[in-house]
Structure 1
Amino acid sequence: MSGAGDPTHAVRRVLERIVDPHGTTPLPWAVGPLAGARTVLEIGPGVLDAELGERRRWLDPEGRVVERGGPAPLPRTLATPWPLATNAVDGICLLLALSRLVAIDRVFAEIRRVLRPAGTLVVLTPSVTLRTVPELRLARLLRPVRRGAWPNRSGLDNAGWLLAAADFAVMADDRMPFALPLPDPAAALEAVETLPAAGLWPPLPADVAENLAVELAERCGPDRVLPVPVRRLVARR
C-alpha cells in the first residue's frame, strides 16, 4: 500500500479526526480527569503536548522522560526503572498503550512508584466488543481487527480487571463510540495505515491491511464513518 507518508507522524491527525456523537475527539476526553494534576506523565504515542502543555512529561520509547517530543511508535516493552523519583507525578495517562505492552507487571510497579498517593491514572484503550448499530453493521469486515494479534489482549475490554489486580481502585469505566469519517478512498487507506500506528487497531499483516483498505474504500461516501470505540478508565492509588 502507498499512503499518507510515515504513519507515525499521522497519529495525532487521525486522533483529531475521530469524534464521538457530540463532536469531541479522544485526546481532550482522555485528559479530562487530569484537570487538577500539576504534573502528568504520558505513556503512549507522545501526542498530548497541546492538551497538557507544560504539565506534560512523556516517557519515550527509549525509556527517557522528556518535556517535549513525539509522536513515536508505541513500544511492546518499556525499560524499567524509569528515570523519575518516587511520587514524582500527580497524574499518569496510559494512552492507547496497555493493549500493546507486555511485561505489564513491571509497568504497573513503576506506575505505583512514580504516582503520588491519591494520584490519578487514566487508561485509554480500544474496545473490541460490539455495542452500536454501526459496529454490528461492519462486524464481518472488522473481524480481523477484533481478533487481531494484540500483544496484550487483556488490556482491551478487561482493562478494569488488570487495574484492580495491580491494586488500583477503578473510579470510572466509560465506553465511547468514536467514529472516523470516510469521505473517500484516500481516507480509507489512511485509516488502515494510521489506526494501527495510533494503537487503536492491532498490527495487521500486509495482506489483511490491503484487503481492509479495498473493502473500506468501496464503502466510502460523504456520510460514511468507521467505528472506532474506545474505553476510558479512571483509577486511583
Structure 2
Amino acid sequence: MKKFLFLFITVACVTAANAQDSTVTTTKKSKKDWSKVKLGNRANDHFMIQIGHNGWSQKPDSLNTRGLSRSFNMYFMFDFPFKSDPRFSIGIGAGLGTDNVYFKNTDIDITGRNSNKLTFKNVADTNHFKKYKLMTTYLEAPVELRFAVNPENTNRSWKFAVGGKIGTLMSATTKGKTLQNKNGNTINAFTQKEKAKRFFDGTRLSATGRISYGVFGIYGAYQINSFIKDGMGPDVRPYQIGLVISGL
C-alpha cells in the first residue's frame, strides 16, 4: 500500500510542478486577468465515476485476501469557482461508494453467531466456498479543492483535486458461491448471503486526491478512521487507487 501511495504522490507532485511552471510562464507572457474569464460553456465535473483496486492497510497475515478486490464509486457534484481566480474551485457532492473484498478459504462471522467479535476463520481444512467476498455500500458526501490549468475548457486541461469524503454505512454483506469440501470437490452449487452492520463503524472518513487530463484520470483514497469498530476485530484501513471519469 505504501508503494502505491508513494507512486501516486510522486506522480501528483511531478505533474503539478510541470503544470505550475507552464501556468507561470503563460501568466508572465499574457498577464491574463483571471477575474474576467468566461466560464459559461465549460464542463464543471458535475458527474464522477471511479473504478479502482480496494486494499486493506494494516492487514494481519491471518486475513487471506485473494484476487483483485475492487471499488466502484459514483457521485453527482456541484462546482463553485473562486471569483478572484477561477482556476480554483470547491466541489461538493453526494453519491454511493461500494467495495468488494475477496477472500480465499475464509468464513467471516458477520452476524456474530459464534462470537461477539468479527472473526475471519481459515476453513481450508473443512467445507468452504469456492468464491467468497465481503461487500460494503456507503452513502457518501465528497468535498474537493480543485485546480484547473485551463478553467475555460476543462475537457482539454490538466485538473487536480484534494479533499475528503464522509460516508454512512448502508449495508455490509458476505457472499459465498459454490460450497466445496477440503479437497475442492463441489458439495452444493448454491449461493449464501449474510447481512449485518453491527461490527463495522457506521461512519467512514477518507482523504482523497485525483489527477486528470480532460475527462480521464487517476484517483486515490485512504480511510482515516477504523473500518471495524474498536475492539471488534483487526484495525484495517481500506484504501483505493484507480481510474476516474469526470465531466459534464
Query: TM-score scaled by structure 1?
Result: 0.27
Structure holding more helix per residue: 1
Structure holding more strand per residue: 2
Query: TM-score scaled by structure 2?
Result: 0.26
